[in-house]
Amino acid sequence: MNRTLVRLVALLAALVGVAWFTGVFDTNPSTIQAPDMRVDADQVARLELSRDSLSVSVLRQDGVWRVVRAGSGGAPRAELPLDSAPRADSGTVARTLEKLATAEVRSTVTRSPERWDRFGVGSGALRLDAMTSAEPGADPAWTFFISETGPDFSSSYVRIGGDDRVFSVSPRLFVDPTEDRWRDKRIVRIEPDAVERIEATHGADSFVLTRSGEGWTIAAAGATGPASLVPANRLASALNPLTADGFYSAPPGEDLPGEDLPGEDLPGENAAGEDAPDTRRLEVTAGGETYVFEFVSREGGYALTLDREPGVTWKVFATRLHSLFPDPETLRAQ
């Protein structure tokens, strides 16, 4: 008995010695043979993201990223030609590529496909494909299935295409594949010093603000007089830049899916006794050019169109209009 015990102890010591010399104790067992997930951001020419019924595709041409396809529900939209594809949000693209370029595996959490759904990398995961070619249908150089959750707020559960393992990865890689997130929301950028005239049409609160030398003149409610410099300059600065909060798929006057216009929460009534939308107009003259903005209230905010971009309908939250349509009395010099 004692001789057997001695042999077992000797065998265990030998195994520990082998493990020590091979460096097993210097390595986190959960990250043994973990892949290098880092993406070469400079080589990425196209990103495609999809989750459930949402999808978005962006590509880079001549250093500019554009949204060539975005969809939600139903059949996927056809890809837009580059000359009509809107700009992508540069911040979202840059942050996504930076995270992909610095992604590191922290641990392996499972090797079983049966547990994919438990960690959010199964059928409901965000799929992200990164291509080195901008051509439609190009094979992805990197494919990731990314969970909306992770071990903590700074990490994600991620599965690599072709690999059954699920990893805990830092930093957090999840990003919504929505048009609102990936599309550039800048509408215009007008230098405040270039603004010559602002005409706001909004019922009894309409006014015309005109630059006069170093100051401003306001005409409202049948009275014309000097305007207060600070609020007038603040209004001119609201267009530098003017950004949207999102996009509507249908222009003003056309119903969105699940929306009846006019809606219950819109002010005023029409001849039929139904609630009528609140409509406003902002005409800005700057540098000899005129910009006409039309606002129509609808579900979720106001639909905004610009005469220079007839094919785009932006979404602006109602609270944003306070800075664009101030009470005329607050603009008058006291």
Which structure tokens are listed for 60? 């880079």
Same domain, 190 and 75: no
pLDDT above 90 (res 76): no
Q: What's the rounded Cα separation, in Å, for the pair 292 and 78?
A: 30
Q: Is residue 21, in this structure, part of any structural domain at all?
A: no
SS3 of residue 186 by DSSP = strand
SS3 of residue 61 by DSSP = strand
Same domain, 112 and 221: no
Same domain, 307 and 172: no
Reported confidence tier of residue 34, pLDDT bands at 50, 70, 90: confident
pLDDT digits (tens, 9 = 90+) for 152-166: 999 999 999 999 999
Same domain, 140 and 249: no
pLDDT digits (tens, 9 = 90+) for 271-289: 444 578 999 999 999 999 9
Q: Is residue 82, in this structure, part of any structural domain at all?
A: yes
pLDDT for the residue 84: 83
Instruction: Specify the pTM.
Output: 0.75
Q: Please, what is the average pLDDT of the chain?
A: 86
Residue finishing a domain among 182, 209, 225 = 182
Contact 264, 277 (CB under 8 A): no
Same domain, 245 and 131: no
Q: Is residue 300, in this structure, part of any structural domain at all?
A: yes
Same domain, 152 and 207: no
> What is the number of domains present in the chain?
2
Q: Strand pairing partners for 104? A: 170
Same domain, 190 and 312: yes
Q: What's the rounded Cα separation, in Å, for the pair 169 and 157?
A: 6
Same domain, 103 and 132: yes
Q: What's the rounded Cα separation, in Å, for the pair 237 and 239?
A: 5
Same domain, 61 and 112: yes
Q: Is residue 83, in this structure, part of any structural domain at all?
A: yes
Range of the domain at 77: 30-182
pLDDT digits (tens, 9 = 90+) for 223-235: 999 999 999 999 9
